[in-house]
Amino acid sequence: MKFEVPKIWCERLNAGDLDGVLSLYGENALLFATFDVQPLVQPEQRRKYFEGFLARPGAGVEVDETTLVHSRHSDGVYQATGLYVFFYQEGDVLVRQHARFTFIVSVDESPLILHHHSSLVPNAEPAE
């Protein structure tokens, strides 16, 4: 089983590829987004969320590869967890927000995110 979704998701987000990011989510996928208080269950909700994030100047994400853990749930489903840092410009300041994530991914046909939970890390140290 290939555990590629976190890497692909980050590459597409960093490239500003909105449709590419959205294509990774299953139709009924649940997204608990880092910067939204509501669970996002509809495709149009996910689109609006990522449009908003990508509209921030310099928006992107970096995965801390040392924290990435993959767990196989069944023949066609795996979970990926770890830490990442979102970044974007606010005026002259580069804002960096530490967050943790869980992806639950089906690989039955092509990799599809079934569930994505992302939340800020409480009391995180500023990234270097």
Q: Does domain 5-120 have CATH number 3.10.450.50?
A: yes
> Can you tell me the distance from the alpha carbon of 73 to that of 102, in angstroms, rounded to the nearest whole number?
13
Q: What is the mean pLDDT of residues 78-106?
A: 96
Mean pLDDT score of the chain, rounded to an integer? 93
Half-sphere exposure of 82 (CA within 13 A, CB side): 20
User: b or e along 81-110 (b: 16 or more beta carbons within 10 Å of the residue's beta carbon)?
Assistant: bbbbbbbbeeeeeeeebbbbbbbbbbbeee
| 124, amino acid identity | A
- Joined together, the tokens standing for residue 35 give 């910067």
Crossing angle between the packed helical segments 43-54 and 5-14, to the nearest 10 degrees: 50
pLDDT of residue 4: 87
Collect all residues with Cβ–Cβ distance below 8 Å to 47 and sequence separation of at least 6. 18, 22
- Band of residue 125 on the pLDDT scale cut at 50, 70, 90: low
Domain ranges of the chain: 5-120
Q: What is the mean pLDDT of residues 21-30?
A: 96
> Can you tell me the distance from the alpha carbon of 109 to that of 107, in angstroms, rounded to the nearest whole number?
6
Q: What is the pLDDT of residues 49-83, one digit of tens each?
A: 999 999 999 999 999 999 999 999 888 899 999 99
Q: What is the mean pLDDT of residues 114-118?
A: 97
